Amino acid sequence: MSAFETETATKRPVDEHVQNTLLFIQKHEEMLQSFKAATRIASMPFSENYSHPVEITPESMERVLPQDLIFSDNEHVRKALTVLVFLCDEISQLKEISESRFFRPLMMFGRNPPELEESRRKILRSESMELLFDQVGMKEKMIGKFLPFLQELANFIDRCYSVCLNLIQQVASLMDNKELLYRCMFHSIRLSSVFKHLGELLAILVSLDAIVAQNENLQTAWASYKSMISLARNNLASFNTTSETIGKFERLLVSIDQSIMLGEIFKGCIEQNFETAIEDDSSVISINVRNNENFMTGEILFSLRQIVESSLPVVGTPSELNERMDLMGCVGIYALYRQLLPPNQHPDTKLHKLIWGIQKVIPFVVISETVVWRVGEFIITHAPLEMKKLDPPSPDVFRRHYITQFDSSLNSRASVLTTQSKSWMILFDSKIQSLSRLNHSSQNFYEQLGGVFLTGLSLARRVSYLAQSCLVIHSDMQIPLSRQCLQDVANLVESLKAIKYCFARNGHAMAELHSVIARGYCEVLYGVSNQVRQKLQTSRKLDAYQVLLLTVVILLEHLLKSSDSFSPSRQIMISVLVEIVMSAPGTVCSDKDANKLKVSVKRLNEISNFAKEIVQACDTAFLYYHADILTPLVQRIYQLPTEANRLHYVVSAFEDGIRLCQTVLHVDATLYFINYRDILWDAVMQGIVAPLCRDIETDLRLHIHTKHLDHMDCFNPKTENLKPLRPFLDLAPIRVLGKLLDIRAEVGQYLDRNFYNLTTVALHDWRTYSDMRSLAAEKLGLVLMDNYLPMGSLEMGLDVLQIMRNIHVFVSRFTYNMNMQQFVEYRPDKSSKHLNTIKIQSIAASIRQHGLGVLNTTVNFTYQFLTSKFRVFSQFLFDDYIRAHLSREHRWFKKHKNDTDINNMYPYERALKFVRDIRKLGINEAGKSFLDQFRILITEIGNALGYVRMVRSASMYYCSEAVKFLPDFEDIIKFEDCVRTGMRETAYYSSDKDFLSDANYGETTSNAARNLDETVSTVVKNFGEGSDYFKVLVKVFQSVLLTVEHDHLKNFYMIVPAMCISWIDASLQAKDSMYKTTRSVNKEMYFTDDGFPMGVAYCLAILKQTRKNEALHWIESANKKISLDTKEHEVAQEKRALKDAAIAQRAREKAKRKNNFFSFGTNSGNKLPDDKDIEQDFENEEEVHSLQLTSKKLEAYRRETEQLFYSMSGAEIFFKRTDVDT
């Protein structure tokens, strides 16, 4: 069993306890999230810091000094490693301190609070305006408050100088030929990791120089403050001070001025005297640095080339992390190398070209939110070298060319990164949810999961740098930012926040798997080091180098086994030891093992610092300086409602700017915070909420007006570009720096206020705003308040009892629309000037007046009416002529349906022939044949059923309005029992105590409670599905019409095609009559008549002939006939077109001959056209007119046929039942 397996077995109880704790935390967090969702506090679908009750971080909290990590009997090795590790560790601490405490306060100095709109700026208090930088005396006050920070920064810079000096002298001393340790061991070792830390230290000083140089306010305020000190020296009494105090203070200012304000922080570091060192006893010793060939050539030059060759190809690739800053430190080391180079030694031109060529890949580096470091200018300033044919020859020209290429490729790069981010998030969520450290121990698992982690970090780094670079360089070089570039930046920022919240959502799982991944890389390192140790121990004789190498390997194994977490000190120690092992000869450590060590230690360091790195990578505080782009970004989101969820990410990205406000030290930061929050709030309110409120109100108003105003057309979603507004209302509330913005609530408040105000102005428009309120609830889910203003009365149509008593008149004078469920009068009285319409609302108003008891009465009256109609129905089909014809048609179709020309379709021609034959039997005074009268009978039956359906729907509508006052349908209180005994029989209330104690109310109260119980029971009963009256009406007539006495009805379905033709002709005639000014009394005029399809479906269901009717394939036959007629018409049109072309050709030839004839001067050109030509033209016009009329008739016939068949298909749905074989 290996050491790691033993350690895992011993820690298993601890791991199980930790696992149980994590489960408890997850359950507790889910409970808190449910509370927030119930109270609408949760602002985003992704996790935020305030939504984590317990935060687990994988960061190492080890407090062990570097010297305590080294356990070795070799005193020389222990001292050398301790010094190197201690200095590198201190550089790491200095880097963290500079980024957290010095960079941002320096950048924010002298910056005014974020500017609001002019209307908002007038509201600011007068004392707040005094914080502006341009106010008289404000510069001196700011420097006075900023002075302690500057003094701390000066001390920090001195500390950086000391560390740099110490590190150079220590490495130079170690690389001296006189040193025993160098001769035995370090002569073949390259300390690239040490020089990489040295580059980080120099990059800190370079960054400070760039920040100070680009902050003009700091320089201006510092000059004003120094002038004020000169004034104080000349007037000591006014400033209540002494010359001695002023002198001390001036010396402090001089030290700050020389170390910081001159912009030579880096220059002061590299110009130190590295040749001398002061011992503890104040004695000065000399150290060979400049002339140390091992140090200057063997270490510095090798490390420079290695850093450039390893970092430069990685820039811009998916593997990029901190390579840009490494190259920045590399250039700083090169400047130091040039400073240390003896004057008599010429610099290496190849090395200079290599360093100069860095700017071809990265001509500048964005150090922080607004500061840009230019590579070419830095080299020219600190490491100049006159050379020919440098590439690029001019840094400034190349930089502008680079920015042009940057803008042109930004869209493609942003698209690629956005797509890669989405793919990575899907992969990350799918992998991490199903993994735990207890059931995965293979090396492949560590590599895959670690690769996913580091890929996310690399994506975040690249996305952040691309977005930040785009904004910073355009701002720095005063180049306008195009609209497309702005949209690309928005996509990048959203992707960055999405990556951040992807990590945040899986924070607990990441914390659990973090140590597992680190342990996996440790096992790789341990495996290679173990092989090296075994090779050394199996050697018969070890030389001094091998003995020291064995000591280093044992020390490396001890570090790998002693902890699962890796602090910066432990990381540095492992990196140095791995470099020593990698330098071993190939017989001890092969190139493959060395490469494995290099990759594993790099990934181990990246995973160990992962939590801190991902926070820095996803930090979007740089948007504070570009807050003016928020408004166009928000407006763009409003133009794309389907992408409304982007708003959360954009606002969250700009919220990070508050971190810069927190670093303001020269004035009170409160105003910065308030103004910045108001800027974000106003951008969302003006860019989203305000136009959304206006558009929703306009949309509701137009929809209602199209309903009430005849001159307005309804919206067609297929032809008009209607913007979906619902996605913005469905957004969760947005947190804007502590303030909660609920878009739904804001829109609801706006509509409530406007509806109330407009209703008070015009009370007669109450219905309009009531309809708008109802439409908002149905369409947008907005629950608006009732304005409680007085309203009018409901307009009622015909009473339901009046219709019921005269149902025979109603079904003959009204036409039914099945889709809209309304009846329209088509046979009004002679003296009437309007048409009556019956809708569900009219019936519901009658039910409200008469009660729900009219339902059963309506069905009874309808049954009596249908009984009388079915008598006539049976008599017509019993007629010998009709019965014989239907039987003949039945036998013919049964015999010929399988013929090729029939193809199971009842021929249209036979149905049309039957219509004509029936008409030959005679017509009535209104011009109706017997078949037309039978069709009208079927239509009246369908109208009666439509009326039953409408009454049922109206009762449902009435119950839905009444039932909303009941709190629960499942558990209804029996009020009669409550008022009698004071006890409840239901479990409606959670308590088991008496509902009322000693009630004993009177008889009147008991009767009222009983009536209330009956009313509630009736409403609830009718609100449900209730009785299926169609099913009842089908069954009651089936029991009569399916008997032997009515055997003559078995071929009813054969008459349906003929009735369809009759209905189509009548419908076309009725619609055509509506457009004529002279209307005959006998002619019918209507635009809808769904009673016929309803009646046909009902009769077929009663007689169980639905399937037989479908077997006729009448719909396909009719469509086939229409298609054939259409093709014949098209052929006639083609012939007509050919004839027209021939006539035109003859006319052109005739005109040509006439012109030739005129050339001889004759007068024959005045000859009139003969009668034959006039007659031919008249025939042509008649033929064209006939073709046009035929085309219109065919199109009208096709539309009417389609409408009939659609209605019949819809009507059949009402009568299809699984227990009825139709």
What pLDDT does 259 receive?
85
For 552-576, what is each residue's pLDDT tens digit?
A: 888 888 888 877 778 888 888 888 8
Question: What is the per-residue pLDDT for 39?
Answer: 44
Residue 718: its pLDDT value, please?
64
Mean pLDDT of the chain: 80
* 1180-1194: b (≥16 Cβ within 10 Å) or e: eeeeeeeeeeeeeeb
In 3D space, the residue among 68, 92, 94 whose CA is nearest the CA of residue 81 turns out to be 68
CA neighbor of 570 nearest in space, from 1104, 1217, 1136, 68: 68
d(CA 921, CA 452): 88
Q: Flag the least confident range among 239-243, 819-823, 889-893, 902-906.
A: 239-243
pLDDT at residue 1022, rounded to an integer: 59
- pLDDT tens for 1209-1219 read 888 888 875 34
Choose the weakest-confidence range: 310-314, 407-411, 985-989.
985-989
pLDDT tens string 761-819: 776 677 788 888 888 888 888 888 877 765 544 445 677 777 888 888 888 888 888 88
pLDDT in tens, 390-445: 888 888 888 888 888 888 898 999 999 999 998 998 888 877 766 654 455 555 67
pLDDT confidence band for 58 (50 / 70 / 90) = low
Q: Using one digit for the tens of pLDDT, what is the confidence trace for 486-496?
A: 999 999 999 99
- Burial state string for 141-165 with b = 16 or more CB within 10 A and e = fewer than 16: bbbeebbebbeebbebbeebbebbb
When pLDDT is averaged across residues 294-323 and rounded to a whole number, the result is: 85
Cα–Cα distance, 820 to 1206 (Å, whole number): 14
Show the tokens assigned to 35. Answer: 């509370």
Other C-beta atoms lying within 10 Å of the C-beta of residue 214: 18
Give me the pLDDT at residue 205, please. Answer: 93
> 139-170 pLDDT, tens per residue?
888 888 899 999 999 999 999 999 999 999 88
Nearest to 31 by CA among 23, 512, 736, 433: 23
Spell out the residues 6+ positions from residue 769 whose beta carbon is closer than 8 angstroms to its own. Answer: 755, 758, 759, 787
* Per-residue model confidence (pLDDT) at position 1: 44
pLDDT of residue 50: 47
Task: Give 923's DSSP letter.
Answer: B
Confidence at 1125, pLDDT banded by 50, 70, 90: confident
Q: What is the pLDDT of residues 334-387, one digit of tens each?
A: 999 989 888 888 888 888 888 898 888 888 888 888 888 998 899 999 888 888
pLDDT in the model for residue 123? 42
pLDDT at 686: 92
Whether 1165 shows a pLDDT value over 90: the answer reads no
CA distance 783 to 791: 20
Mean pLDDT for the stretch of residues 952-968: 73
**Residue range 469-521, pLDDT digits in tens:** 898 888 888 888 888 899 999 999 999 999 988 888 887 777 777 778 888 88
- Give the residues across from 373 on adjacent strands: 365
Cα–Cα distance, 456 to 606 (Å, whole number)? 12
DSSP 19-33: HHHHHHHHHHHHHHH
The Cα 1057–Cα 1064 span in angstroms is 11
Position 681 scores a pLDDT of 92
Return the higher-pLDDT residue of 1186 and 1052.
1052
C-alpha to C-alpha distance for 264 and 440, rounded to whole angstroms:
54
State whether the Cα torsion 104-110-113-114 is positive or negative. negative
Give mean pLDDT, residues 736-751.
90
Is 899's pLDDT higher than 70?
yes
Q: Is the dihedral of CA 798, 800, 803, 807 positive or negative?
A: positive
Banded pLDDT at 744 (limits 50, 70, 90): very high
Largest CA distance in the chain: 140
What is the pLDDT at residue 1175? 67
Question: For residue 117, what pLDDT band results from cuts at 50, 70 and 90?
Answer: very low
* 172/790: higher pLDDT: 172
Concatenated DSSP letters of 975-1019: HHHHHHHS---S--SS--S-SSSS----HHHHHHHHHHHHHHHHH
Q: What is the pLDDT of residue 266?
A: 92
The C-alpha atoms of residue 549 and residue 198 are separated, in whole angstroms, by 25
Q: Count how many residues are written for the chain.
A: 1222
pLDDT of the residue at 682 = 92
The per-residue pLDDT for 774 is 87
Average of per-residue pLDDT across 597-618: 85
Nearest CA-CA partner of 666 in 119, 1136, 143, 1080: 143
Q: What percent of the chain stands above pLDDT 70?
A: 83
Task: Examine the pLDDT at 260 and tell me if it is beyond 80.
Answer: yes
- Higher model confidence: residue 716 or residue 348? 348
pTM (2 d.p.): 0.62
Residue 1166 has pLDDT above 60, yes or no: no
289: closest CA among 387, 149, 191, 176?
176
Task: Give the model's pLDDT for residue 412.
Answer: 92
pLDDT of 688 reads 93
**Where are the alpha helices (H) located in 563-626, listed in sequence order?**
568-582, 591-608, 610-617
Measured from the Cβ of residue 487, the count of other Cβ atoms closer than 10 Å reads 15
How big, in percent rounded to 5, are the helix, strand and coil portions of the chain? 70, 0, 30
Give me the pLDDT at residue 247, please: 82
How many whole angstroms separate alpha carbon 529 and alpha carbon 601? 12
Strand, coil or helix: 372: strand
